[in-house]
């Protein structure tokens, strides 16, 4: 330990800085930590999370700020803290370990490694003290120490086996054929089968917006004229708009809903979720007018421009989930709160219109009890609510708008969730793409101006001295060599700017990124692009991924960008590159089409 804290105090990540005062002797990921592990012959304890993560904050308060836990960790291992948003490559490698060992993953992600960097134990959230269902960290650390000291050969053999399984099982081995129309049709059929006809979306619980699925369905509708594809998108968007996953006072979307009805979210708001949903809304608006789409787009863009725009010109990463000492406390309302804030003649109307119940409308996630808290949502059509109070729809909306403004002002007096103000090239690329496309779809030129400002910021601030793209900017510092996602998502943003403005400079900038992308990340014998430019010597796995989840993969977006730029610039070799990338993952796509919907959407345009 250094005087006054650990070795995180000079870092830039808000997540790492939150842990800088812990008694745990944290180090950032780097050679010094591995040298110390080898020198002291101890395992590394690598803990990965992000600033907006609720359970990451819980574990920091319960365990990492606790002297007993700190003494155990400092004695048994070399503790290392990682911000997954700064180092998505580290997170992806060890999340694959956690999913392989446990069948699921999440954050915080906690992994024990040998001094050589090979993982042998992985877990997500651990309380300080365990229960029969969930081990505690004070139980796990002594057990790991004992295993490492007394069963070293078995631990190292297990670690090598984990490495070998992931290296051999996770990589495309040969160039396949381009996924064809039959596979695209299968993906549509699978989405239709998975579709929740009562509440929208494509799963039960938890329920993510999954813009990659919406993007695929809109492209499928455009290509094949299948009206069911468009109706699934519109229906899902309507349910999300009405659900508690949307912030009905301040705008913006939470990351996901814990229930089937989109009611109770995890309350962090990520920049990429706003961007991808806005992009889907723009694509949907291109299919036809709908006032809901206009309102939803204005809601998202207004939140981002009002709350996430950095003074320097880019967009911040996230707002946190926690307020008033509990997850979602900033966003929750009791009936008494609402009646105290609003005039009596308006309070009853608002309570009905936003589904507020005296006893609460959501369960506490930890206790499973309903404790009086309410998440605002729209439980019935506005016409029905208006009729209840003998109002016209216009009169009702005027009342509700006045109430929303009053309650937002009241909410702003509460302690605000923290803002993670680091600026990431990849997520900014998605936001630039969304604002540019939405500016054309919805006739909002001010959104285009914001997209151009952000693109200028990335060009000026997120470059190294040699002109190469960098991943992260914060507090005056640009750092971390860019990943595939940075190149692919920024190239998408520039391509959309080119389409929206007609300016050739954006096409040229996108082409430069495409050329750098292929040069830096390609694997010529097999095809497909690596997620990192050069293998980190401390990281056991260099990955090529095409998985489209809450975020599309860099490979999927690269196929889309290469295909579009090939048509724009008349460069046939870019279309050939797009086919090689898509072909590299064809076997995996055939097995799991719903895990590759952005890729399949891109293939439809090849």
* Structure confidence by residue, pLDDT tens digits, 163-219: 999 988 766 666 778 999 999 999 999 999 999 999 999 999 999 999 999 999 999
Distance CA 39, CA 199 (A): 56
Residue 525 confidence (pLDDT) above 90:
no
At residue 325 the predicted structure's pLDDT band, cuts being 50, 70 and 90, is: low
pLDDT at position 454: 98
- The closest of 177, 272, 229 to 589, measured between CA atoms, is 177
pLDDT at 279: 98
Q: Is 597 helix (H, G, I), strand (E, B) or coil?
A: helix
Go through the chain and tell me how many residues it has.
606
The tens digit of pLDDT for each residue in 58-96 reads 999 999 999 999 999 999 999 999 999 999 999 999 999
What does the pLDDT look like over 277-286, one tens digit per residue?
999 999 999 9
| DSSP, res 444 | -
Residue 323: pLDDT band with limits 50, 70, 90: low
* Secondary structure class of 319 (helix, strand, coil): strand
C-alpha–C-alpha distance, residues 433 and 442, integer Å: 14
* pLDDT tens-digit map of 354-366: 999 999 998 766 5
CATH topology classification for 14-169: Glutaredoxin (3.40.30)
Cβ partners under 8 Å of residue 387, min gap 6? none
CA atoms of 446 and 560, how far apart (whole Å): 26
Tell me if the bond preceding 147 is cis, omega within 30° of 0: no
Burial (CB count <10 Å: 0-12, 13-18, 19+), residue 515: middle
Average pLDDT of span 320-345: 89
The pLDDT, as a whole number, for residue 174 is: 60
Tell whether the model's pLDDT for residue 140 goes beyond 90.
yes
Please state the rounded mean pLDDT for residues 337-351. Answer: 97
Q: Hey, what are 5's tokens?
A: 């804290």
Tens-digit pLDDT profile for residues 557-584: 999 999 999 999 999 999 999 999 999 9
Q: Is residue 307 predicted with pLDDT exceeding 80?
A: yes
Placement of tokens 């979307």 in the chain: 253
pLDDT for 369 equals 62
Is the pLDDT confidence value at 4 over 60? no
Q: What is the CATH number of domain 181-326+420-603?
A: 1.50.10.10
| Segment 6-16 mean pLDDT | 96
- 461, with CB counted inside 10 A (0-12, 13-18, 19+), is middle
- Which pLDDT belongs to residue 322? 79
Residue 366, pLDDT score: 55
How far apart are the C-alpha atoms of 413 and 330, rounded to whole Å? Answer: 10
Strand partners, 423: 473
Model pLDDT for residues 117-133, shown as the tens digit of each residue: 999 999 999 999 998 88
Residue 374 backbone class (left: φ over 0; alpha: ψ -120 to 50; beta: rest): beta
Q: What is the pLDDT of residues 365-386, one digit of tens each?
A: 655 566 789 999 999 999 999 9
The pLDDT value recorded for residue 368 is 59
User: Looking at the predicted structure, is the pLDDT value of residue 3 above 70?
Assistant: no
Question: How many Å apart are CA 579 and CA 311, to the nearest integer?
Answer: 40
DSSP notation for 213-224: HHHHHHHHHHHH
Q: Are 13 and 86 in contact (CB under 8 A)?
A: yes
User: What pTM was estimated for this model as a whole?
Assistant: 0.95
Average pLDDT of every residue of the chain: 94
The better pLDDT of the pair 556, 1 is held by 556
Closest to 314 (Cα-Cα) out of 231, 420, 208, 431: 431
Structure tokens at 73: 């960790």
- The predicted-structure confidence for 413-423, as pLDDT tens digits, reads as follows 999 999 999 99
Q: Hey, where are the domains in the chain?
A: 14-169, 181-326+420-603, 331-413
Question: What pLDDT score was predicted for residue 151?
Answer: 96
């Amino acid at each position: 330990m250094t005087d006054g804290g650990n070795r995180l105090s000079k870092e830039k990540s808000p997540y790492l800085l939150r842990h800088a005062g812990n008694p745990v002797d944290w180090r950032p990921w780097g050679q010094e930590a591995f040298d110390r592990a080898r020198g002291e012959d101890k395992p590394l304890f690598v803990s990965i999370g992000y600033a907006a993560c609720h359970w990451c904050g819980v574990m920091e308060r319960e365990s990492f700020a606790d002297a007993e836990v700190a003494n155990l960790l400092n004695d048994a291992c070399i503790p290392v803290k990682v911000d997954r948003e700064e180092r998505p490559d580290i997170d992806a490698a060890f999340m694959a370990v956690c999913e392989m060992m446990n069948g699921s993953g999440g954050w915080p992600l906690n992994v024990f490694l040998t001094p050589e960097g090979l993982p042998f134990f992985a877990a997500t959230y651990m309380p300080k003290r365990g229960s029969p269902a969930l081990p505690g960290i004070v139980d796990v650390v002594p057990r790991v120490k004992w295993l490492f000291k007394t069963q070293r050969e078995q631990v190292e053999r297990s670690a090598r086996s984990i490495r070998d399984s992931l290296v051999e099982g996770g990589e495309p081995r040969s160039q396949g054929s381009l996924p064809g129309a039959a596979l695209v049709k299968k993906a549509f059929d699978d989405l239709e089968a998975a579709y929740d006809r009562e509440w929208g979306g494509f799963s039960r619980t938890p329920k993510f917006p999954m813009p990659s699925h919406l993007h695929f369905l809109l492209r499928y509708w455009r290509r094949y004229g299948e009206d069911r594809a468009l109706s699934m998108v519109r229906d899902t968007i309507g349910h999300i708009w009405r659900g508690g996953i949307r912030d009905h006072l301040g705008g913006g979307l939470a990351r996901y809903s814990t229930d089937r009805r989109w009611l109770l979210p995890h309350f962090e708001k990520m920049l990429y979720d706003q961007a991808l949903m806005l992009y889907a809304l723009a694509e949907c608006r291109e299919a036809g007018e709908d006032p809901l789409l206009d309102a939803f787009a204005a809601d998202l863009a207004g939140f981002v421009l009002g709350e996430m725009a950095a003074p320097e010109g880019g967009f911040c990463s996230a707002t946190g989930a926690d307020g008033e000492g509990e997850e979602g406390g900033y966003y929750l309302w009791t009936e008494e709160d609402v009646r105290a804030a609003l005039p009596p003649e308006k309070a009853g109307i608002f309570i009905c219109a936003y589904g507020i119940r005296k006893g609460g409308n959501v369960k506490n996630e930890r206790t499973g009890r309903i404790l009086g808290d309410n998440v605002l949502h729209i439980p019935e059509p506005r016409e029905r609510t208006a009729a209840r109070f003998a109002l016209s729809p216009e009169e009702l909306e005027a009342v509700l708008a006045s109430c929303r403004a009053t309650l937002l002002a009241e909410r702003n007096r509460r302690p605000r969730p923290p803002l993670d103000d680091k600026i990431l090239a990849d997520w900014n690329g998605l936001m630039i793409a969304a604002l540019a496309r939405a500016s054309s779809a919805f006739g909002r030129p001010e959104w285009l101006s914001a997209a151009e400002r952000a693109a200028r910021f990335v060009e000026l601030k997120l470059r190294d001295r040699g002109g190469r793209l960098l991943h992260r900017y914060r507090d005056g510092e640009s750092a971390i060599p860019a990943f595939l996602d940075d190149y692919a998502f920024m190239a998408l943003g520039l391509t959309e700017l080119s389409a929206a403005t007609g300016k050739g400079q954006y096409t040229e900038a996108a082409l430069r990124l495409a050329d750098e992308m292929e040069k830096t990340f390609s694997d010529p014998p097999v095809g497909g692009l690596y997620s990192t430019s050069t293998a980190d010597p401390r990281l056991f796995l260099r990955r090529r991924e095409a998985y489209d989840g809450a975020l599309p993969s860099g490979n999927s977006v690269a196929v889309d960008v290469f295909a579009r730029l090939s048509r724009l610039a008349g460069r046939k070799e870019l279309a050939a590159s797009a086919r090689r990338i898509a072909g590299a993952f064809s076997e995996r796509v055939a097995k799991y089409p719903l895990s590759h919907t952005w890729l399949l959407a891109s293939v439809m345009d090849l």
